[in-house]
Structure 1
Amino acid sequence: MADVLALVEARLRMALGEPDARASVTFLGTDRIEVLRFTDGDVVRYATLGMSATPMTDPTAALADPVRGPRAELVLSVRAGRADTDKVLRALAVLAASPQVEGLVVAPGASLDTGEPLWPGAPFTSVLVAEPGGLVEDLELDEPMDPVHFLPLLPMTPNEAAWKRVHGAAALEERWLARGTDLRDPVRGAVGLD
Structure 2
Amino acid sequence: MVIDNVLTSVRAHLVESFGGPEPSAASVTFLGLEPLEVLRFPADSEDVVRYATLGCSRHPMADPSDLVADPVRGPRAELVLTLRGGLDVASGVHRSLAILAAAPAVEGVVLAVDGLLDLGEPLWKGAPFTAILLGDSGVEPLSLPEPADPVQFLDAVPITGTEAAWVRLRGAAALRDAWAEAGIDVRDPRRGQASL
Quick one: which of 85, 89, 106 aligns to 1:101? 106
* Letter paired with 1:25: V
Quick one: which of 28, 31, 34 aligns to 2:31? 28
Q: Secondary structure at the match of 1:36?
A: strand
Task: Kindly provide the CA deviation profile for residues 168-194 of structure 1, in whole angstroms up to 9, marking residues without a partner as x.
Answer: 01111111112111101111111111x
| Structure 1 pair 88–4 and aligned structure 2 pair: CA distance change class (3 A) | same
How far does residue 125 in structure 1 lie from its aligned partner after superposition? 0.3
Tell me if the contact between 1:82 and 1:186 (Cα under 8 Å) persists in the aligned partners: no
Residue 57 of structure 2 corresponds to 52
Question: Which residues in structure 2 correspond to 1:116-131 (within 5 Å)?
Answer: 116-131=121-136
1:183 aligns with 2:174: no
- In structure 2, list runs of 5 or more residues that go unmatched: none
1:148 aligns with 2:151: yes
1:85 aligns with 2:90: yes
Residue 7 of structure 1 corresponds to 9
Q: What is the root-mean-square deviation of aligned Cα atoms in Å?
A: 1.4
Normalising by structure 1, what TM-score? 0.94
Normalising by structure 2, what TM-score? 0.93
CA distance in 2, matches of 1:21, 1:83: 13
Moved more, 2-11 or 121-130: 2-11
Residue 173 of structure 2 corresponds to 170
- In structure 1, list runs of 5 or more residues that go unmatched: none
| Structure 1 pair 82–122 and aligned structure 2 pair: CA distance change class (3 A) | farther
